[in-house]
A and B are shown apart, each in its own frame.
Chain A
Amino acid sequence: EVQLVESGGGLVQPGGSLRLSCAASGFTFSSYEMNWVRQAPGKGLEWVSYISSSGSTIYYADSVKGRFTISRDNAKNSLYLQMNSLRAEDTAVYYCARDPPAAAGYFDYWGQGTLVTVSS
């Protein structure tokens, strides 16, 4: 069974940092592109970042470019999101999401999400 489990969320002050993790199981993690998608409270879905299966290709939404860093450790079946210079508008539930085979572009499995709150 495919499982994605996020962790690392919490309360952080503006300007602070946080590192999210996503533990994958039930599939060959190293073969899949992965993404982070976020959802502000009461709002819609916003794609945040993409990483290729090898980690060699990375993209970011303009809203987080230069502040967030996506990475992965295929040996540990884990995806990460390092978030720096956090702002109030980064407050959201952060989901990791899997691209199905052949880098399709939509997301067939999602984690349960981890809440990040940026507030003083």
Chain B
Amino acid sequence: AIRITQSPSSLSASTGDRVTITCRASQGISSYLAWYQQKPGKAPKLLIYAASTLQSGVPSRFSGSGSGTDFTLTISCLQSEDFATYYCQQYYSYPLTTFGPGTKVDIK
């Protein structure tokens, strides 16, 4: 099974900061990677798919990059509504898909 790691597991940041989260796959997954945002008590929300394609309606301050085994999610200018937990998901082995353990972004 393809294993996914994320770093950091948590981070503290301020509104306006640039935030970068990293996701690493245990083997090459091309660009078959998605990013989700989840707020407490809510379902995950799709942000990015195919490593760098922004889902419709998602603000442009979110961006994704990478291919193969290393990927990043960047929030260019953190807003108050962005404090949440972020998960990456590999779907290279679709439909047997796996998620990363998550990165919690909270207020400094």
Hey, which bits of chain A sit against chain B, CB under 8 A? 33, 35, 44-47, 50, 59, 61, 95, 103-108, 110-113
Contact = CB atoms under 8 A, between A and B. Distances in A.
Could you tell me the dominant secondary structure of chain A's interface residues? loop
B20 interface: no
Interface residues on B, range: 20 to 34
A51 to B, nearest CB: 9
A105 B43 contact: no
A35 B43 contact: no
B49 interface: yes
B101 interface: yes
A106 B89 contact: yes
A47 B97 contact: yes
A38 to B, nearest CB: 11
B46 A59 contact: no
Interface in B85-106: 87, 89, 91, 94-102
A104 B91 contact: yes
Contacts of A107: 34, 36, 44, 46, 89
Contacts of B44: 45, 95, 107, 110
